[in-house]
Structure 1
């Protein structure tokens, strides 16, 4: 089943309380809490309080949106403990900070080994790992993401997906379908190259993407990220569009 949600870093300037209120007002199901501003790594009391407040508002915690970058051999322990305090079912991580075109085999190996270690420790807590699908990482393309997932070789490691503004609908749909077997959540926004647009301008492509997602087994969150001009009013309009698409 598909559930609607909000990525908290869409509104970095807002407090967690304001974000919870806004998500509830929009009638969404969940929040992905970001680890850079709202739920800092290692602040377990804050993570617990925000997780509890989210659930008390009738929302769920979709995931912990960490900024852990695999490849540097950094400790994952504090990230995991924060996610546990938040009671997040999954942790989003980054496949390093180098694009696949700039990465040598040693870097691939480093990212793979860090991910394996993170997944092993998270798995003991029943928490999944998912890569951000993003430029300037090893998951900057579909083939590269599939390669990384294969090298990691852990069914508890998945990937997010988001549309690429420079791709047409068919190309984005092909990417989505290829990643579907190991797909976690989806970041939802509508851009054309260099231009943020209301989600209502992307109803047709998003209807196609959501149709493909609804055919998959399992539960996933469609998490709103980036709204035109960063306005709460635009977010509320976009939320209505997303909810409408999910009920078609």
Structure 2
């Protein structure tokens, strides 16, 4: 059985933003955009807005987020299991930063190569590191969530299920996002398969060649995805990487998402 989470999350499925959508903007502007768009939460990235180890800044961003009536959904650490520790990023630093931010979960990447290239030794390295990070996070009251992504060990339904299954006894969960090169039925199958472990969903509309489109262009697909994601737990649907990195397009996409979900204003939760 999947690890039973004790995360601090509101219900039901609510809209949010991944801060790396606007790497070019300061954290204050990201908060302002999210609040103006009537979103409920922000996933803060560790690469720009909340750097690893800067605990004072993490606390400042946490307070700024709360003051705007928003929740911290996640800490997007960009920690690469099986790699980052050897490259100088200690998992303890990641966990301390996430704790200062008040994040309920820490997003990590399941390695750096696809499952079709990974040999048993690589699998062992990723699983061992995942267990180490998850135990640290669990001791601090947090979970760890895999990025569901190509060129990692969560690049297929079967590989993601295997990885989650091998770590069922520690606080490991997964995020999910559709693969642009797969059709709706394939993506729905992937989503349903990880639903028992699902934390949050990353929301975007891209072509198979990763051209960014308005969210409304994929609304029928997203209506189906959100219907599945709303089953079985409190989660966020987090907008990510809008067309042209445009705040104007983001506002349109956020309105599309809020309308589709029938979401309340954050202040009314």
Alignment-derived partner of residue 200 in structure 1: 216
The runs of 5 or more residues in structure 1 that have no matched partner are: none
Say yes or no: does 1:48 pair with 2:56. no
CA distance, structure 1, for counterparts of residue 83 and residue 66 of structure 2: 34
CA distance, structure 1, for counterparts of residue 188 and residue 244 of structure 2: 27
Q: Name whichever structure is richer in helix by fraction.
A: 1
Match of 1:17 among 11, 18, 28: 28
CA distance, structure 2, for counterparts of residue 98 and residue 152 of structure 1: 19
- Give 3-state SS (helix, strand or coil) of 2:116's partner: helix
CA distance, structure 2, for counterparts of residue 203 and residue 233 of structure 1: 18
Alignment-derived partner of residue 85 in structure 1: 100
Match of 1:37 among 41, 48, 58: 48
TM-score by length of 1: 0.97
Match of 1:142 among 147, 157, 161: 157
Match of 1:163 among 172, 178, 181: 178
Say yes or no: does 1:94 pair with 2:109. yes
CA distance, structure 1, for counterparts of residue 153 and residue 83 of structure 2: 14
Instruction: Map 1:54-133; keep pairs closer than 5 Å.
Output: 54-72=65-83, 74=85, 75-133=90-148
TM-score by length of 2: 0.90
Aligned residues: 247
CA distance, structure 1, for counterparts of residue 17 and residue 73 of structure 2: 9
Contact 2:135–2:171 (CA under 8 A) maintained in structure 1:
no
CA distance, structure 2, for counterparts of residue 71 and residue 155 of structure 1: 17
Q: Deviations over 1:66-106 (max 9, x none)?
A: 01111137131000000011011110001011111111100
Q: Deviations over 1:142-168 (max 9, x none)?
A: 111110011122352111110111111
CA distance, structure 2, for counterparts of residue 142 and residue 30 of structure 1: 28
- Give 3-state SS (helix, strand or coil) of 2:17's partner: strand
Alignment-derived partner of residue 5 in structure 2: none
- Give 3-state SS (helix, strand or coil) of 1:101's partner: coil
Ranked by relative contact order (alpha carbons within 8 Å, sequence separation 6 or more), the top structure is: 2
Contact 2:131–2:170 (CA under 8 A) maintained in structure 1:
no
Alignment-derived partner of residue 8 in structure 2: none
Match of 2:206 among 180, 191, 216: 191
CA distance, structure 2, for counterparts of residue 146 and residue 171 of structure 1: 15
4+ aligned runs moved over 4 Å, structure 1: none
- Give 3-state SS (helix, strand or coil) of 1:102's partner: coil
Contact 1:73–1:114 (CA under 8 A) maintained in structure 2:
no
Alignment-derived partner of residue 222 in structure 1: 237
